[in-house]
Chain A
Amino acid sequence: MSEAVIRVVGLGKSYVTAAGLFPALKGVDLTIDRGEYVAIMGPSGSGKSTFMNLLGCLDKPTSGDYFLVERNVAQMPGDELAILRNRTIGFVFQGFNLLPRSSLEDNVGLPLVYSHIKREPRRKKAREMLARVGLEGYANSLPARISGGQQQRVAIARALINSPSLILADEPTGNLDSHTSEEIMELFGQLNDEGITVILVTHEADIAAHARRQVRFLDGHIVSDLQTSGRGSNAC
């Protein structure tokens, strides 16, 4: 009954450096099913960021295949990848990455601009999303007027607005204190409970502990892939 949202086969990525070809990712195989909550872990230089960029369709692999919702996207042209990023993937970044001069409503509605949705339905949907992350009434505020935790909620609302197949969060709590981090992780847990696939990239074990599955990278390989009891079990 579970279908694969992500299936990568022999995925490799090499960078051209002054010292020659540097393989950052050396033939990775991984399948993530709909509704999973996966943490991708590993120290810096392990290849997890490269993997994340490939999963997010921000980059193209040098070898292997990547099936996103059953479509091989490995060698898709840039414009089609942009459409995938718009419709299929919701990004949450460590630095929130809200547009500082746009209202929260406009920030949340931004993906819909690129799906050619008109202004009124866009605003309506953006307000709904803000309410979903507990920020109703902030529609016209600017990002600088709210706290970091609230900004990350706005970013999550933005990621959710196009009903993506998966949420890709890159160190989502990296800029937050531990209390706020817990709140954000709770929100991810909640979204996962609603059936949304969540992929978390982190190097913090206690953040990764919220996920139900932990995939560990080292030197461009997956070194462990564990099902865990899931969130909350070893919360601090």
Chain B
Amino acid sequence: MLGPMLGEAWHAMGSNRMRTALTMLGMVIGVGSVVLMMAIGQGAQFAVAQTISTMGSNLYIIIAGTTQTGGARSGGGFGFTLRVADGEAIAELDDVKIVAPVHQGTQQLVYGSKNWSASVVGTTASYLDARAWALTSGYVFGDSDVRSATRVALLGKTVVENLFDPGESPVGKTIRVRNTPFTVIGTLAAKGQNLDGRDQDDTIIVPLTTAQRKLFGVPFAGSVRSIMVQASSAEAMPSVEKSVTALLRQRHRLRDDQDDDFYIRNLAAAADSAAETTRVMSMLLGAIASVSLLVGGIGIMNIMLVSVTERTREIGVRMAIGARQRDILTQFLLEAIMISITGCLIGLLLGIGGALLVNAITDMVIVISGGSVLVAFGVAAAVGVFFGFYPARKAAALDPIEALRYQ
């Protein structure tokens, strides 16, 4: 039964091409925009997820806090309240996986005739583990390098590109940082931008002690600007934050009425909020696009209603020669579904084409997932059934005698 019915529906679609095409256009635009918007939204989510994954997971950064010394106040990161020994104590806490003291600043680098300004991170080898940062060549300095403040450096990709000629291997070469010679012992894998848009590869990593003694200078030996702490799991993060706070307050001998002299920044929270923002954005895009799908569906209903009225006589004839109510219902429903599915297919192609075009002319990341295609298709079929049902029902409920008499 469905075979000849499909043929009939196809025939009916073809018999008024202009109108069918215009009706379809609503679905084409609806599905096309849903697919395109979902591709852009999911692309943004994907890009953020990528960026987040370069940061390292479950990280806290403890920053030396505000101090007030004789009226001169200095902001976070410039106090001297944190000590390397604090980090060692934190490492003993439950659920703390990695602790890495960090002293970061900007310095001018020189190699041969080239020079370049980059962020210098003084830390321990565990920093690379916490950040999940791999090497592309060479090796990582060890604890002995940190203890004896050796002048060795790991170079980020951007630094390598700016100081060395293409193809030149930096490992074993000597660069000068603030007139101190450093031996390059390794190069770091590319990480790209962080959430603030800063180039994470424009970095060199040196032992903490070397940075403090040779490059930045520290007034109190054993102090450090920040400590990176990695919790063993996302679930453990709140308890780690609590126990770190308690530990530091105790170690710094703060009275209950005194504020913390350090800040704890949750990098995961920043990442989560960035991810949440893009998720909301992509949902919003999808929702707006869905409105056009709805409008397309209403267009189908409108045309099907016109079509039922126009073909009242035909419906009467069909009933007179033996069409049952459900035959008429099926016929008009199939017509609506075929219009919406054909429109959906065209919309899919246009949406994917549009997404590829956006990808080609901007450097926006585009993700076309099978899921979003399937959803668009399912929604289109549902729209066809939903908006086709009322007109089809109206057609099926016609009285054959009235319908035959209809002029």
Contacts and interface: CB of A to CB of B under 8 A. Distances in A.
B401 A53 contact: yes
Interface in B322-365: 322-327
A149 interface: no
Interface string A83-108: 10111000101000101011000100
Nearest to A83: B322
Contacts, number: 69
A79 interface: yes
21 contacts: A58-B400, A58-B404, A78-B325, A79-B324, A79-B325, A79-B326, A82-B323, A82-B325, A91-B321, A93-B320, A97-B316, A99-B314, A99-B317, A101-B11, A101-B12, A111-B322, A114-B318, A114-B321, A114-B324, A115-B322, A118-B4
B407 to A, nearest CB: 9
A2 to B, nearest CB: 27
Interface of A: 53, 56, 58-59, 78-79, 82-83, 85-87, 91, 93, 97, 99, 101-102, 106, 110-111, 113-116, 118-119, 122, 158, 162
Given A82-B323, A114-B321, A97 B313 contact: yes
A82 B8 contact: no
A86 B404 contact: no
Nearest to A94: B404
B239 to A, nearest CB: 69
Contacts of B378: none
Contacts of B7: 119
B69 interface: no
A110 B15 contact: no
A45 B290 CA distance: 55
Contact of B15 (A53, A56, A101, A111): A101
Contacts of A113: 4-5, 8
Contacts of A78: 324-325
Interface in B299-313: 313
Contact of B318 (A58, A101, A110): A110
Contact of A86 (B314, B322, B326): B322
Chain B interface residue count: which class? Answer: 20 to 34
Contact of B321 (A101, A102, A110): A110
Given A58-B401, A114-B323, 10 more contacts: A58-B320, A58-B400, A59-B401, A82-B322, A85-B321, A85-B322, A93-B317, A97-B316, A101-B11, A101-B15
B324 A82 contact: yes
Contacts of B18: none
Nearest to A106: B11
Top 3 A-B pairs ranked by shortest CB distance?
A: A86-B322, A101-B15, A114-B322
A162 B322 CA distance: 11
A85 B320 contact: yes
A119 B404 contact: no
A18 to B, nearest CB: 17
B319 interface: yes
Interface in B168-213: none
Contacts of A87: 322
Nearest to A102: B11
Contacts of A119: 3-4, 7
Contacts of A158: 321
A92 to B, nearest CB: 10
B72 interface: no
B3 A118 contact: yes
A145 B3 CA distance: 28
A178 to B, nearest CB: 25
A162 B321 CA distance: 10
B15 A93 contact: no
Nearest to B322: A86
A97 to B, nearest CB: 5
A106 to B, nearest CB: 8
A100 to B, nearest CB: 8
A97 B317 contact: yes
Contacts of B327: 82, 114
Contacts of A99: 314, 317
Contacts of A82: 319, 322-325, 327
B401 A116 contact: no
Contacts of A56: 320
B1 A116 contact: yes
A80 B323 CA distance: 10
Interface centre among B8, B317, B321 (most CB of A within 10 A): B321
B4 A91 contact: no
Contacts of B3: 118-119
A113 B5 CA distance: 8
B247 to A, nearest CB: 81
Contacts of B313: 97
Nearest to B7: A119
